[in-house]
Structure 1
Amino acid sequence: MNHRLVQSMMPPSNSGTEKYIAIIDQDKVTDEVRNIAVKYDPLNRSGYEGFYVTEDGELHIDDVNVMREHKLIEKKIPNDAIQIVPLPSETGQLVHQYGDNGFRMHDLPVPEDGRIVGLLGRNGIGKSTVLRILAGELVPNFGTTNEETDWNQAIESFRGTTLQTHLERLRDDSVTTAYKNQRVDALHEGDVKTVNELLVARSDDPDRFVDELDLRSIRDRSLADLSGGERQRVAIGVTLSTDADLYLFDEPSSFLDIEQRLSVARTIRSHVQETDAAALVVEHDLATLDLLSDAIHVLYGEPGGFGVVAQRLAVRTGINQFLDGRLKEENVQIRRNSIDFPTAGERGVQSGEPVLNYPQLEKAFGEFSLRVELGQVHAGETIGIVGENALGKTTFVKLLTGSIDADNGTGLDEVTVSYKPQYITPDSDETVRERFTTVADIHSQSFTTRIQDPFELEPLYDRSLGSLSGGELQRVGIALCLARDADLYLIDEPSAFLDVNHRVSIADQVQQFSKQTDCPVLVVDHDLFVIDRVADRLIVFDGEPGRRGQASTPQAMRAGMNAFLSSLGITFRRDEQTGRPRVNKPGSQLDQKQKSSGEYYYGD
């Protein structure tokens, strides 16, 4: 029986300012649960619309109708079948506001000597604002946007807290901070031209991290000629080689391969512990964040509207609660659904017809040579491509697209290929809408359901490509690639500039697109979180970076990840609670056990 009630009048407004949603576990919903929810719902009893039973027997309530009073029902329901939880709302100390109706930042994390504090949250939620305040670059105004403020007001606002001392030192210029900006394309400073000149100009000990960060071979290179990964390592080296009390790193893993990410994490940790300095790190690669951090602050709120710094948590607890979507200590739901992870055993069985057969291929550029083992790509599958930088992954992609020819290897199938390159540069002032009209019918239903809605394009349509943020441009680039009519899709580093939420969304949308269209998608990425989520099979690159590379034939996820991680000497495990990939500490009991058994990647 359908118990839904329909009223033309609006239900009473929620009491207070908090908004709530109902989390209903349909597997736990029994007839008893349905009867209690419908019978005791205060809205139903007042003649308005509350909990109702759908035609297929599921218990439901529209989000807009959930209010605090529904917690009375939650208490009556057995087995936690229903949870009434508040949505993010502005709470805590208002620290800074941009303009009268601008973004508002609430609360601040506390730096701690000898420890690294990680900041985890969506883009546009205030992470960079927090770093700028604690670096002394931005004086907080506490919402007084029309008045001048100084550090004395900040000190008074946080008097009696552990932040007071740090803010006093900022006021007195008695604390030295070193800040690695999110943007690594702006390394130029005055007349500085080369990596060495930059290290000498901005470092207290220019030679300190040259070898640890593999900078010696590029020391005499022009800054303008550096790759993204090289720029990132230089920026980190400049930051670490500054004698500072507080180090701040905004997305240190971008453009780095997996080995470099883990090496940089170990280098930062070692330096912070040796110097007893404090450090704050914003990072979207969860494996890197896990390895780097001693504690976690999750930031939540409304992107572009407000942000709140939640209380400090242990690293595993903080990351897992973020993935679960609910911060228990704050009693706030920051995401509608939890983020789950498939096991390797659920993937890798190919039933689709072959779309592409490629032979053994060889290509040489100067001192570098690439060898590709023959392979086959099937309809409806997603293949991850992993390996260190400078092993020829992008060259392999270009061989498949036909933009370069192999030196040896014939019989490559003729297929149409759509390609999203590693670096996306807006090359015109045209709008997003204008660009999409050149590749697809943006008014068709298939475009709306497969491209426009999943990639959140509509709010961007009237923006120029040049005005987009890195994350927005990345979404547009991936969507443009998938919007073209092609037999095969190649996406190079889709995770760059995206937060965890968008990385999950992109991985899921790529998987769904491949299955819906029966078109295979190849994805190159260094974030194992993304590869673990998106890939059915793997192509593994190994060799000597800059000298020679070799690409394996596509193989099952478990076999591929074992081969890849063993080449790096790294073992991964799955978190018992969430199933997410986690790096084992080198030399730990679990690390040694997995290496001895040959299981570098616990997929199940």
Structure 2
Amino acid sequence: MILPTDTQSEEYVAIIDQDKVTDEVRNIAVKYDPLNRSGHEGFHVTDEGDLHIDDSKVMREHKLIEKKIPNDAIRIVPLPSETGQLVHQYGENGFRLYNLPAPDEGSVIGLLGRNGIGKTTALRILAGELVPNFGTPDGASWDRAIESFRGTTLQTHLERLRDGSVITAYKSQRVDSLSDTDGETVRQRLTSRSTDPGRLVDELGLRSISDRSLGDLSGGERQRVAIATTLLSDADLYLFDEPSSFLDAKQRSTVSQVIHERVRDTDASAIVIEHDLAMLDLLSDGIHILYGDSGGFGVVSQRLSVRAGINQFLDGYLTEENVQIRGDAIEFPSASERGSPNEDTIFEYPRLQKEFPGFALSVDPGQIYAGESIGIVGENALGKTTFVKLLAGSIEADSGAVQGTLSVSYKPQYMTPDSQETVHEQFTAVTDTHSRRFKTWIRDPFDLEVLYDRPLDSLSGGELQRVGIALCLARDADLYLIDEPSAFLDVDRRVSLADEIHRFSKRTDHPILVVDHDLFVIDRVADRLVVFEGSPGDHGHANPPQSVRDGMNAFLSSLEITFRRDERTGRPRVNKPGSQLDREQKSNGEYYYDN
């Protein structure tokens, strides 16, 4: 429930649909612009014939022009401003959060927004870890919170937090927070939460690792243990901060179903922060969008339906709030719009075999074309990273050998900031940071200049990811291999980096191979796919590169998951298991419907 307060001074932006701009529209906009009529420049026609106005000059009075313009060719909408109930502020000039999402019994509510916008702060308040101070340093009080949200669905939850009568279970963003100081095993951790964790152990695939120490687990294994530990609590409210990190597509689908079933069967509530739109779509019953100024302030929108919430977020315009949260909409090309790849072969690899104790990988021979981006998909523990390392030459195959003199630049799955060198020092060691090519192709697209003076070990996970990808592309190489670029990034950054990776391959005519579990990212970045099959942890098999449609269809059919395109935005959407669309697509063999 949102409690309105006086809205502060608003800034506006003009959204101009150039396809709808006619001579009549141009004449009306230029003639009736109050800036033009007072001798200043407002709406004007550029040399290219486009209608334009500088963002800094748009004001409320321009809405008079909007009303005169036919066909919605121009919309004057407010930019995000600090509005609603100020709930918490960090210090005198620190970050400010407005409004709170409300738990809903028997439902999973998703939170969607950029990093640094207040999602984790909202979870910490609802978990009872942080008492809201309403902008006053000494004003932290549950009684004041209850009074501020009196009459809303939040009132009861806040009263129970004050009285200690509500049980919350919170899975934090960082799964490396799982303590292993005493060599605690997975079994010991789970049985300390419940005497009968068997069902969750089986559903989340933890039985095979039950006797392993927490400290010996991979990121994906730690994530599943953290989720199981949270769900084993007999809680009234479950809070999950980015549960998809390090999980493969099948595990993400399973976790979504497990969380949803737990909440539904116990009449508990859950609130989830998630950047994987497919998982958010599958998991949530409703969504709050958080918008504002990253690191400055965040505003929690009113609750929206899942489809409307994600679509409005991608549009960059929240209809009910009447606020523009992004300058441009995020659009999705279909397979027919990707164009034909350049089929000039620059690299071939033969049939490869690699064996480790308890695991074997086989690789079908394949060709890589100039200037293409290849997505690599498959379950965890099938050898995807091993495949990348074989091509990179960092490990040798037992059978077959990668021939040729191609140089390879590799961004590993896990970035280890073990250096106190600054970001700028790292880049000067691998490239000429003063060259125009570096500035236009690397520095500016990856927003690096603001990080130049920061030591690597001071960067957040998302900042380190950005730097790692940029460092990989900054090196002079023939082939680029990027392992899990989406980890720790919000949706906007994922879209931006996927687009920049794809654009870089086309500009340089060098191929890029991308391993990732976010199918939203793979769909956006890939020209072709390498699909991995096999039995996780036992054996894996890499198929040769194939089209995105054929590759996705093969991959998703092995997982028994179907995707469709949203009719309005074109974004990939996962079908609810057992739904009519899910059954129809499976019967037609269309696991990846790319209409």
TM-score by length of 1: 0.96
Work out which of the residue numbers 392, 397, 401 in structure 2 matches 1:410: 401
Work out which of the residue numbers 351, 356, 381 in structure 2 matches 1:390: 381
Work out which of the residue numbers 497, 502, 524 in structure 1 matches 2:488: 497
Aligned to 2:88: 96
Q: Is the 8 A contact 2:8 2:82 kept in 1?
A: no
- 1:235-250 mapped onto 2 (5 Å cutoff): 235-250=226-241
d(CA) in 1 for partners of 2:367, 2:151: 65
Work out which of the residue numbers 74, 78, 87 in structure 2 matches 1:82: 74
d(CA) in 2 for partners of 1:275, 1:522: 44
Report the 3-state secondary structure (helix = DSSP H, G, I; strand = E; otherwise coil) of the residue aligned with 2:419.
Answer: coil
Task: State the AA in 1 paired with 2:488.
Answer: F
Aligned to 2:446: 455
Aligned to 1:69: 61
Q: CA deviation at 1:154?
A: 1.0
Work out which of the residue numbers 46, 49, 56 in structure 2 matches 1:54: 46
Work out which of the residue numbers 25, 28, 49 in structure 1 matches 2:20: 28
Moved more, 252-261 or 217-226: 217-226
Work out which of the residue numbers 104, 118, 124 in structure 1 matches 2:110: 118
Report the 3-state secondary structure (helix = DSSP H, G, I; strand = E; otherwise coil) of the residue aligned with 1:413.
Answer: coil
Report the 3-state secondary structure (helix = DSSP H, G, I; strand = E; otherwise coil) of the residue aligned with 1:472.
Answer: helix
Aligned to 2:319: 328
Q: Is the 8 A contact 1:348 1:556 kept in 2?
A: no
Report the 3-state secondary structure (helix = DSSP H, G, I; strand = E; otherwise coil) of the residue aligned with 2:100.
Answer: coil
Aligned to 2:296: 305
Q: Is the 8 A contact 2:8 2:81 kept in 1?
A: no
Aligned to 2:561: 570
Q: Is the 8 A contact 1:205 1:241 kept in 2?
A: no
d(CA) in 1 for partners of 2:111, 2:434: 40
- 1:129-144 mapped onto 2 (5 Å cutoff): 129-144=121-136
Report the 3-state secondary structure (helix = DSSP H, G, I; strand = E; otherwise coil) of the residue aligned with 1:543.
Answer: strand
Q: Is the 8 A contact 2:183 2:213 kept in 1?
A: no
d(CA) in 1 for partners of 2:206, 2:483: 25
d(CA) in 2 for partners of 1:427, 1:284: 27
Q: For structure 2, which runs of at least 5 residues remain unmatched after alignment?
A: 1-6
Aligned to 1:379: 370
Q: CA deviation at 1:208?
A: 4.3
Aligned to 1:289: 280
Task: State the AA in 2 paired with 1:111.
Answer: P
Report the 3-state secondary structure (helix = DSSP H, G, I; strand = E; otherwise coil) of the residue aligned with 1:237.
Answer: helix
Change (3 A) 1:101 1:411: closer
Q: CA deviation at 1:346?
A: 2.5
Q: Is the 8 A contact 1:19 1:87 kept in 2?
A: yes
Q: Is the 8 A contact 1:192 1:198 kept in 2?
A: no
Q: CA deviation at 1:168?
A: 0.6
Asked if 1:219 corresponds to 2:246, the answer is no
d(CA) in 2 for partners of 1:597, 1:362: 35
Q: CA deviation at 1:597?
A: 1.5
Q: Is the 8 A contact 1:88 1:334 kept in 2?
A: yes
Aligned to 2:4: none
Task: State the AA in 2 paired with 1:520.
Answer: P
d(CA) in 2 for partners of 1:228, 1:295: 28
Q: CA deviation at 1:148?
A: 4.7
Work out which of the residue numbers 429, 448, 463 in structure 2 matches 1:438: 429
d(CA) in 2 for partners of 1:163, 1:60: 44
Q: Is the 8 A contact 1:204 1:243 kept in 2?
A: no
Q: CA deviation at 1:244?
A: 0.2
Aligned to 1:5: none
Report the 3-state secondary structure (helix = DSSP H, G, I; strand = E; otherwise coil) of the residue aligned with 1:209.
Answer: helix
Q: Is the 8 A contact 2:180 2:215 kept in 1?
A: no
Task: State the AA in 1 paired with 2:374.
Answer: I
Q: Is the 8 A contact 1:204 1:241 kept in 2?
A: no
Q: Is the 8 A contact 2:183 2:215 kept in 1?
A: no
Asked if 1:523 corresponds to 2:514, the answer is yes
- 1:6-25 mapped onto 2 (5 Å cutoff): 17-25=9-17
Q: CA deviation at 1:594?
A: 1.2
Aligned to 1:356: 347
Q: For structure 1, which runs of at least 5 residues remain unmatched after alignment?
A: 1-14
Moved more, 581-590 or 168-177: 581-590
Moved more, 545-554 or 200-209: 200-209
Task: State the AA in 2 paired with 1:565.
Answer: L
Aligned length: 589
Moved more, 337-346 or 233-242: 337-346
Q: Is the 8 A contact 1:204 1:242 kept in 2?
A: no
Write the deviation string for residues 439-490 of structure 1: whole angstroms up to 9, x where unpaired: 1111111100011000010111111111111100000000000000000000
| Percent of paired sites with the same residue | 72
Asked if 1:480 corresponds to 2:463, the answer is no
Report the 3-state secondary structure (helix = DSSP H, G, I; strand = E; otherwise coil) of the residue aligned with 2:177.
Answer: coil
d(CA) in 2 for partners of 1:168, 1:341: 44
Write the deviation string for residues 101-143 of structure 1: whole angstroms up to 9, x where unpaired: 0000000011011000000000000000000000000000000
Write the deviation string for residues 185-220 of structure 1: whole angstroms up to 9, x where unpaired: 010066462212222334465434111111111111
Q: Is the 8 A contact 1:355 1:487 kept in 2?
A: no
Q: Is the 8 A contact 1:326 1:332 kept in 2?
A: yes
Work out which of the residue numbers 160, 181, 206 in structure 1 matches 2:151: 160
Report the 3-state secondary structure (helix = DSSP H, G, I; strand = E; otherwise coil) of the residue aligned with 1:210.
Answer: helix
Task: State the AA in 2 paired with 1:38.
Answer: V
Q: CA deviation at 1:360?
A: 0.8
Q: CA deviation at 1:97?
A: 0.1
Aligned to 1:603: 594
Task: State the AA in 2 paired with 1:426.
Answer: P
Work out which of the residue numbers 550, 555, 561 in structure 2 matches 1:559: 550
Work out which of the residue numbers 267, 274, 289 in structure 1 matches 2:265: 274
Moved more, 180-189 or 293-302: 180-189
d(CA) in 2 for partners of 1:219, 1:580: 38
Task: State the AA in 1 paired with 2:495.
Answer: V
Report the 3-state secondary structure (helix = DSSP H, G, I; strand = E; otherwise coil) of the residue aligned with 1:478.
Answer: helix
Q: Is the 8 A contact 2:342 2:372 kept in 1?
A: no
d(CA) in 1 for partners of 2:278, 2:402: 40
Report the 3-state secondary structure (helix = DSSP H, G, I; strand = E; otherwise coil) of the residue aligned with 1:450.
Answer: helix
Structural RMSD (CA): 1.2
